[in-house]
Structure 1
């Protein structure tokens, strides 16, 4: 058993995981933890691999695993797909503290600060990765750094999945907003972008030209807000035990731009994600704020579309993003044979991640995105450079994809978006929520010794 300073008790983890997730589903976690160890013991060459990828992403990952484990592979892989969100993260944490984790798991990079400090993740041996052709130089700097705590690597990114701007080239061409290459005309200020959207509106026959859905979806609100905020060249810092460091003027200006766009003419003032996606996918609107993960669904809808980075409207190229990343759930006693097979498997997946790009995600492994084959892949190659300008959630134990931080942000901000008023008060409410969380100790860091 590891020391108390690096590994929680099982009782503590049950409490801590629930605190991190808030709405985590604990039922079923113990049986899932037991299954990994039991199945692994039967085959010394089998790697247990947990993911939260479902739908099209899950199918693409299954294809990649099948290719990696094809004829001649030194390893076999048993993939277990669990429910996306907090149920997944709770079970993963319980498995690590219970001594029955899988050899490998997918985690959002933004969640690493909440899991690494309590000893729930093992570190990657960068020397061994390098021997297999995977090194820091093979990744965009910010994406590689996001997997690190201090000088240790806890996560190796598979991708970046940023917020982007989709556009209908037929509608936009009629509106006269495309350049000679058929790409969306460059805009460099809120006023220029609003003018472009207004021009597109002349071709959408009564439907507002820009689709953006946010009702009840804190993640959608934070993605666009933080894109605009970081385009000011600013960042938020959430120091443990301190006060949130947020530039109020920049935050208010970012939120006010969202309000200006949601005026009922440029974009529907009160819209949810599904309705906004449907507007664009049926050809009724010409522009859509969304994530790269919607590439497949829009393609299947049959509407003409292209994709690009959200225009730089405040001077600094920036976009909100997260990454699916490979992590090593903590093993009380590492099976060195399986650990080595795990390294080989991850290296093979990264080198084969061109296929992952077909799902819309930007592969993090640069030899893939810099290849001639990828350059011919459209529209993916049109927004690949966004991986060089990514901004993740501010690092804290309570932030990240599927976290209560996003829902809390939404609760504070949504009234201002619905009414078009009260931006300063909404930012004050958001700050107050973060300050309360900063006074709360990370539940998987009971000794309070970890510092990001």
Structure 2
């Protein structure tokens, strides 16, 4: 299940008690994450005043919205860096994905009860930083801990910047990619001499490959779920839209878009949803199940689904979605570290926060093992990462990623992708007129552009 779209329950990982005989602290923490349900209690949402643990380490409050496999992996990373004895002890508070998380984060910043560090999607920073809800990073201080702009891909670093200041530091990028079943591809005769999928360079060629795979599976060539899911709809549309080299500018009073590119992208998606290449009416869960049971050859999904694919027992590989319209491009977002606003931050507490973030970045290979592409490039360039497959095969997607168009109402967990669902789903589901559907979406976006940023 996609943890970036679905969030049935969220947990609070409090600082673990000393482990009993035979148990490590990590086992205690992971066990509590698996056993405890519900969101954080209100009393635990207060930001930490400067404090020290019994060991003398400074206690850091760390908020994020990662659950499921991502939550367990993050718990492990935090446990690892806490164990470095770098003068801090970070305690996680995990809150409900989407609007609940971002609302609580804004309220905490306004109310003077901010955590020391919080994860945000990079696509949400533009809506928060202008309202004073985030403090900028001191890049000189960050550099003292070995983290500099040169350690990141240009577009990933740039997404955290606003008006000359850096408001977020990316942990990863998580693009929309294409997984494929190696056995099905082999039987369909579409593998290259290197054992990977042969290059696909046009819409017609993609359809041919998908139909060849459908002839093997007897069901579908491609799994892609979108029904009732604006995020899934938008991820694929925006990938193809940007492959046309098109811009989507929300900086003015009206959206400036390339309607021809939008219509061409939507009409190609309609070709995919023909019942043979892909089902015409599948939701996300159906697509996951179909691909993991070997009933399709390819799967459009996010990198976060890699653990599920590996656990399926299938022989799979993955790559960026093929460039079908001339310009390499992929939809993506990033989990990014932010400093929620504090009126009078304690300098030593802030210094400990910087050390904590640097340690997480520099020890993020475990995050890569779960599928995400580390933003800290020394990890990506390392032999250990290059040996990870299929991660190393789809890592180039980070070099061609495209975040949501920038506006106060866009980004992961916002209503922007729901507007796309409301106005365009009939184009996907019923073959409705693509131009009319896209026009309706743009009109809905223009309504939002006429409103002021509420934060």
Please report the TM-score for the alignment, with normalisation by the length of structure 2. Answer: 0.89
* Residue equivalent to 1:70: 83
Please say if residues 413 and 426 of structure 1, whose CA atoms lie closer than 8 Å, have aligned partners that are also in contact: yes
* Residue equivalent to 1:183: 196
C-alpha separation in 2, matches of 1:127 and 1:225 = 39
Structure 2 residue corresponding to 1:252, chosen from 263, 266, 280:
263
Shift of 1:31: 2.6
5+ long unaligned stretches in structure 2: 1-38
Structure 2 residue corresponding to 1:215, chosen from 218, 221, 227:
227
C-alpha separation in 2, matches of 1:64 and 1:87 = 24
Structure 1 residue corresponding to 2:251, chosen from 225, 236, 239:
239
Shift of 1:42: 6.1
Q: Tell me, what secondary structure is at the counterpart of 2:48? A: helix
C-alpha separation in 2, matches of 1:91 and 1:32 = 13
C-alpha separation in 1, matches of 2:383 and 2:357 = 23
Q: Tell me, what secondary structure is at the counterpart of 1:116? A: helix
* Residue equivalent to 1:79: 92
Query: What is the number of residues matched between the two proteins?
Result: 415
Shift of 1:35: 2.9
Please say if residues 171 and 336 of structure 2, whose CA atoms lie closer than 8 Å, have aligned partners that are also in contact: yes
* RMSD (CA atoms): 1.5
Q: Is residue 202 from structure 1 mapped to residue 200 from structure 2 by the alignment?
A: no
5+ long unaligned stretches in structure 1: 1-27, 445-452
* Residue equivalent to 1:99: 112
* Residue equivalent to 1:308: 319
Shift of 1:328: 0.2
C-alpha separation in 1, matches of 2:254 and 2:298 = 38
Q: Which runs of 4+ in 1 moved over 4 A?
A: 40-44
C-alpha separation in 1, matches of 2:314 and 2:84 = 39
Higher relative contact order (CA 8 A, sep 6+): 1
C-alpha separation in 2, matches of 1:426 and 1:30 = 42
Q: Tell me, what secondary structure is at the counterpart of 2:61? A: strand
C-alpha separation in 2, matches of 1:180 and 1:197 = 19
Shift of 1:420: 1.7
From the superposition, tell whether residues 29 and 357 of structure 1 become closer, same or farther in structure 2 (CA, over 3 Å): closer
Please say if residues 260 and 420 of structure 1, whose CA atoms lie closer than 8 Å, have aligned partners that are also in contact: no
Shift of 1:199: 1.1
Q: Is residue 344 from structure 1 mapped to residue 345 from structure 2 by the alignment?
A: no
C-alpha separation in 1, matches of 2:41 and 2:94 = 15
Please say if residues 218 and 409 of structure 1, whose CA atoms lie closer than 8 Å, have aligned partners that are also in contact: yes
Please report the TM-score for the alignment, with normalisation by the length of structure 1. Answer: 0.90
Residues 35-78 of structure 1, C-alpha deviations (whole Å, 9 max, x = no match): 3336x546471110001011111111111111111153311111
* Residue equivalent to 2:144: 131
Residues 379-417 of structure 1, C-alpha deviations (whole Å, 9 max, x = no match): 100111111000000000000001110011111110011
Residues 255-282 of structure 1, C-alpha deviations (whole Å, 9 max, x = no match): 1110010011110001100001100011
Structure 2 residue corresponding to 1:438, chosen from 424, 449, 453:
449
Q: Tell me, what secondary structure is at the counterpart of 2:83? A: coil
C-alpha separation in 2, matches of 1:264 and 1:161 = 28
Residues 63-116 of structure 1, C-alpha deviations (whole Å, 9 max, x = no match): 111111115331111111111111111101100000011000000000001111
Q: Tell me, what secondary structure is at the counterpart of 1:183? A: coil
Structure 2 residue corresponding to 1:162, chosen from 163, 170, 175:
175
Please say if residues 33 and 94 of structure 1, whose CA atoms lie closer than 8 Å, have aligned partners that are also in contact: no
Q: Is residue 396 from structure 1 mapped to residue 407 from structure 2 by the alignment?
A: yes
From the superposition, tell whether residues 32 and 426 of structure 1 become closer, same or farther in structure 2 (CA, over 3 Å): farther
From the superposition, tell whether residues 196 and 313 of structure 1 become closer, same or farther in structure 2 (CA, over 3 Å): same
